[in-house]
Amino acid sequence: MDTLKAIQQAIARCGRPVQVGEASFTACIFPRLHTNLTFQPQKQTVFGRQDPREYLYYGPVDGGGELVAVGSLLAAGQDLFVVLICEDFYWQGQPAYRWAALKRMEEEDGPVYRA
């Protein structure tokens, strides 16, 4: 099986509908887990306390995924996320997927205005 197609199929199978602006597409959003050497979740990390609002994003690089950029707002169901870091990953010179670090927005973060 072609690796790029396998990546796209995995995102489609494991993902959920997300929206950036007017664009809708499927992407994977998972809680970011900090683990120790035995891979047990830790609330305390070497950098300090874990933020339960941190998430990881894996999605397409086109079809709406190109709108995922640092600072953009991403909606998934009732959750709203802001993109902190964003990078494209390539396979044999072809864009394979877009990875991002997200932070879930909550009421104490202040008002959020969607474009």
User: From the centroid of its chain, how far is CA 107?
Assistant: 20
Model confidence at 40, pLDDT cuts 50, 70, 90, reads low
Given this model, what pLDDT does residue 65 score? 92
Q: Which of 30, 99, 29 is nearest to 60 (CA)?
A: 99
pLDDT tens for each residue of 57-111: 999 999 999 999 999 999 999 999 999 999 999 999 999 999 999 999 876 566 5
Residue 16 lies in a domain: yes
Number of domains in the chain: 1
Please give the C-alpha separations between residue 64 and each of 70, 77, 82, 92, in angstroms, as whole numbers.
Answer: 15, 17, 16, 22
Residue 32 lies in a domain: yes
This prediction has a pTM of 0.78
- Residue 18 burial (CB < 10 Å; 0-12/13-18/19+)? buried
Q: Which residue range forms the structural domain that includes residue 22?
A: 3-109
| Residue 115 covered by a domain | no
Contact between 50 and 43 (Cβ < 8 Å): yes
